[in-house]
């Protein structure tokens, strides 16, 4: 009986750690996406301010 409780506790701990890891990874990915969006917006604003036109692809190559 005690062994079963220890196993259940271990499984719960692993699941909790995995959940925290996935949430952290998800938040990091969202922040990177936000930074990329801001960079594209700034590039588009620069092109427009220069009087040029763009086709929506203003990423640096």
Mapped to the 3 state alphabet, what secondary structure does 1-61 carry? CHHHHHHHHHHHHHHHHHHHHHHHHHHHHHHHHHHHHHHHHHHHHHHHHCCCCCCCCCCCC
* CA 23 – CA 19 distance, rounded (Å): 6
pTM higher than 0.75 for the full model?
no
Are 33 and 44 spatial neighbours (Cβ–Cβ below 8 Å)? no
User: What pLDDT is attached to residue 14?
Assistant: 97
Are 37 and 58 spatial neighbours (Cβ–Cβ below 8 Å)? no
User: What pLDDT is attached to residue 58?
Assistant: 53
Mean pLDDT in consecutive groups of 10 residues from the start of the chain, 61 residues: 95 97 90 88 87 60 46
Number of folded domains that form the chain = 1
User: What pLDDT is attached to residue 61?
Assistant: 46
User: What pLDDT is attached to residue 18?
Assistant: 96
Domain coverage including residue 55: 1-61
């Amino acid at each position: 009986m005690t062994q079963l409780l220890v196993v259940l506790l271990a499984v719960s701990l692993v699941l909790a750690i995995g959940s925290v890891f996935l949430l952290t990874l998800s938040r990091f990915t969202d922040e990177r996406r936000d930074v990329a969006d801001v960079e594209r917006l700034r590039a588009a604003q620069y092109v427009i301010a220069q009087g040029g036109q763009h086709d929506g692809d203003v990423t640096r190559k």
